[in-house]
Amino acid sequence: MFNNARLHAAAMAFILLMTIPSISGVDQSISDKAGDGITVTPDGRVWTSVIPEQVSRPAPSNLPWWEITTRDSNRNRIVDSLESLPDGKDVPLIISYSRDITEEDLDALKEIGIEGGYVVKAIDAISVGMRKVGMITQILELDGVIMIERSGMVHLYSDVATRALKARGSDEYSPNAAWELTNVTGYGINIAVTDTGIDDMHPSLEYKQIAGYDAVTPEARTDGQDDPDDRNGHGTSCSGMATGTSKGDPELAYMGSAPEATLVDVQIGTDIGAGPFENYLLPTTYYDSALQGMEWVRDNADTEWSWVEPEHYGIDIQSLSWGITSHENGGSDGSDPFSRLIDEVVAAGVVCVGAAGNDGPNNDGFSGMSATSEGIVVGATDDDNTIDRSDDVIAGYSSRGPRRDDGDGYPYDELKPDVSAPGTDIWNTDPCTTSEGCYGDAEGNGYQGRGSGTSYATPAVAGVTALLLDVNGNFTPALVKGILHQTSERMEPASAPDLDPFWNRDHGWGMVDAYEAVKLALDLYEYDLDAIDVELQSHIMNITMDESGVVVIEGLAWAKIGTVDHVEVNINGKKWVEVEYIQDIDGIDTGEYIEWRYEVEPNKLKFTGNHTIHVRAVSDDMHSMPDTDEFYAERKGGKKSDDSTNIPYGLIGAIGLISIIALVYVSKKAAPSKKDQESL
């Protein structure tokens, strides 16, 4: 009798719990319409529940790059910048083929007097060193040759930053700093600093190096067990900006963006900066250490280093604070060998972060490396030596966009730079350099001013990407880039408003905000990453409240490729619901903006307070990354949101159900058997 009464009471309690309404949801419905699915707003705009008809423009050209590049205007297979040079001039040449390069091709080159060089398998090209311009005619007669071009000179793009990026906490931005979200600090993420080497004896970089490769030394070992040192200092400083622990500094002022990330040392530069051939001083058949170093990164993207734990396998990120002179009017269109190789590194799954260059606002386009289509190109800001971002401006030396058109009919890869970050008057690891007469190591060194440049903005952003991969190692390079684009702080008005409402020629999509980037990365845990298409875009542009208290949310959506089937929102994580669209009788083309709106009536909400809205564009089974914002709504006579009302009733209900099951089990176990009952 006791057991039955207890079970009955528990069951009644559970039923009562289940009848308590959820306070975190919203009954979503559009406000009253004028009829036939049409709403006319006070400003006279007509909205409909039917998305505008879209005409899908042709997809990007799938023709080979050499057939569409703008660097060979007369299609004679010679890059234009070479054609005005006299036959007797010596220039560094790169020969590209339409297929894999074979031993027969190398033999054919020997027959015309070209022996040695470095074959870049990833892009079907060979760097052959200094050759007379007059040899080009003979080279063009060889089978498979589709482009001859002049290589350029590789050069460097040479405290507050980590806090200004909102990676590390500060008085200005705590608790809104990435490290404080979930203690994300880059552990298990390998960054290949492709530079002048790393002095890993510096206290800030101690025990960080996982693997290494010396691309400037002939016949260097390629198994990852090399340990190239840094006698220039640039690579060591960049490594500190990305991953430094600030050990030895009592105030820990010089920590990198990802202090628990580890390093792969890829040396492509020497004491004087550039590699053996790129400075035009030391011709050698082992020319082009930059191409060799980058290809080594690609080839080792997934290498299972035998001397480390599995979490440290491979290469996740490449930080590249270098550029290469293009020798071309208008710069490169991304089809140069260096940019193409970076795109191949990205295709191997490595996030490539590179410097925009230091040619200032009147730069003549972007040079090789910074002209990459797939990499993340970083401009530099001047933070005025303050953590507060409100006084940050684009640095006078930072190269501006856009990139030269590559002729593929896809205008978005010309929008460079991608983002910006502090790069002016940077202090970090004090290396041991040849110029200072230091031939030992930096074991006892501290920190000093390293100067300014997009070189120094780049590793800081590489560190932020390590935080994103720490959150989710399944993020693709394209998704990482998309997260940075979406979450960066907009700094200036749009420079190409017909293509993108946010991109600016100085800052790209804005100044990197590590906190917002990591927060979005955490939100994406709820999504199937394979269903996210970065070519789909949806953004909240405006949230207002009318006189009656109705919250009106407006935004834009578009497809860079293809079309948008519909746009949908959810409030407080509940069911996705389709929005209204601005009426457009004539239809729109791919890439044109779809204006959308959604109304929320406060009395249909379950509580008064702040609410979260998510929006995404959908096409077939794919959708955009969600854009998220908050709005305040006051429900008349409703309950305010506080700790006592935000009770997880579903969880309590589940606990109640479990309790009932437990009671049933206990009742059965404790109840007298039939035999015992008879004996009573």
Strands of 118-120's sheet, edge to edge?
118-120, 125-132, 90-97, 145-150
Same-domain pairing of 373 and 307: yes
- More reliable by pLDDT, 448 or 194: 194
Q: What CATH number is associated with residue 181?
A: 3.40.50.200
Predicted confidence at residue 654, as pLDDT, reads 42
User: Considering the domain boundaries, does residue 192 fall inside one?
Assistant: yes
Counting the structural domains of the chain, the total is: 4
CA-only gyration radius of the chain, Å: 30
User: Considering the domain boundaries, does residue 63 fall inside one?
Assistant: no
Instruction: Give the residue from 13, 3, 8 showing the smallest Cα distance to 652.
Output: 13
DSSP E strands in 220-279: the ranges are 262-267
User: Considering the domain boundaries, does residue 641 fall inside one?
Assistant: no
476 CB-side CA count, 13 A: 14
Instruction: Give the residue from 523, 530, 534, 520 showing the smallest Cα distance to 482.
Output: 534
Domain assignment of residue 45, given as a range? 38-57+528-633
Q: How confident is the model at residue 315 (pLDDT cuts 50, 70, 90)?
A: very high
Q: How confident is the model at residue 157 (pLDDT cuts 50, 70, 90)?
A: low
Residues 458-492 have pLDDT tens digits of 999 999 999 999 999 999 999 999 999 999 999 99
Q: How confident is the model at residue 260 (pLDDT cuts 50, 70, 90)?
A: very high
Instruction: Assign 3-class secondary structure to 122-142.
Output: HHCEEEEEEEEHHHHHHHHCC
Same-domain pairing of 113 and 129: yes
User: Considering the domain boundaries, does residue 471 fall inside one?
Assistant: yes
User: What is the mean predicted confidence (pLDDT) over 291-311?
Assistant: 96
User: Considering the domain boundaries, does residue 642 fall inside one?
Assistant: no
- More reliable by pLDDT, 135 or 669: 135
User: Highest-confidence range of 278-282, 314-318, 386-390, by mean pLDDT?
Assistant: 314-318
- Chain centre distance of CA 477: 6
Same-domain pairing of 561 and 661: no
Residue 151, SS3 per DSSP: coil
Q: For residue 155, is pLDDT > 60? A: yes
Q: Domain ends where: 150, 180, 209? A: 150
Same-domain pairing of 42 and 9: no
Predicted confidence at residue 210, as pLDDT, reads 96
Q: How confident is the model at residue 87 (pLDDT cuts 50, 70, 90)?
A: very high
Predicted confidence at residue 324, as pLDDT, reads 81
Same-domain pairing of 8 and 42: no
Q: What CATH number is associated with residue 95?
A: 3.30.70.80
The C-alpha atoms of residue 115 and residue 285 are separated, in whole angstroms, by 8
- More reliable by pLDDT, 317 or 130: 317
The C-alpha atoms of residue 189 and residue 315 are separated, in whole angstroms, by 8
Predicted confidence at residue 172, as pLDDT, reads 66
Instruction: Assign 3-class secondary structure to 286-334.
Output: CCCHHHHHHHHHHHCCCCCCCCCCHHHCCCCEEEECEEECCCCCCCCCC
User: Considering the domain boundaries, does residue 65 fall inside one?
Assistant: no
Tell me the pLDDT of the chain averaged across its residues: 82
Q: How confident is the model at residue 171 (pLDDT cuts 50, 70, 90)?
A: low
User: What is the mean predicted confidence (pLDDT) over 351-366?
Assistant: 92
Q: What CATH number is associated with residue 51?
A: 2.60.40.650
By the 10 Å C-beta count (0-12 exposed, 13-18 middle, 19+ buried), 474 is classed as exposed
Same-domain pairing of 598 and 624: yes
Same-domain pairing of 225 and 279: yes
Same-domain pairing of 340 and 442: yes
The C-alpha atoms of residue 18 and residue 212 are separated, in whole angstroms, by 60
Contact by Cβ (8 Å): 395, 381: yes
Q: Domain ends where: 124, 150, 176? A: 150
Predicted confidence at residue 137, as pLDDT, reads 95
What residue type is 227 in one-letter code? D
The C-alpha atoms of residue 348 and residue 301 are separated, in whole angstroms, by 7
DSSP state of 83: T
Beta bridge partners of 615: 569, 627
Instruction: Assign 3-class secondary structure to 385-431.
Output: CCCCHHHCEECCCCCCCCCCCCCCCCHHHHCCCCEEEECCCEEEECC
Same-domain pairing of 136 and 166: no
Q: For residue 278, is pLDDT > 50? A: no
Predicted confidence at residue 269, as pLDDT, reads 84
Q: For residue 443, is pLDDT > 50? A: yes
DSSP state of 675: H
By the 10 Å C-beta count (0-12 exposed, 13-18 middle, 19+ buried), 356 is classed as buried
N-term to C-term CA, the chain: 14
User: What is the mean predicted confidence (pLDDT) over 335-354?
Assistant: 97
Contact by Cβ (8 Å): 217, 555: no
Q: For residue 562, is pLDDT > 70? A: yes
pLDDT cut 70: percent of the chain above it: 77
Same-domain pairing of 465 and 540: no
Contact by Cβ (8 Å): 71, 336: yes
User: Considering the domain boundaries, does residue 296 fall inside one?
Assistant: yes
User: What is the mean predicted confidence (pLDDT) over 488-502?
Assistant: 95
pTM value is 0.83
Q: Domain ends where: 478, 507, 523? A: 523
Same-domain pairing of 307 and 174: yes
User: Considering the domain boundaries, does residue 107 fall inside one?
Assistant: yes
Q: How confident is the model at residue 246 (pLDDT cuts 50, 70, 90)?
A: confident
Q: For residue 284, is pLDDT > 60? A: no
Same-domain pairing of 437 and 392: yes
Helices 337-347 and 289-299 cross at an angle (nearest 10°) of 10
Q: For residue 327, is pLDDT > 60? A: yes
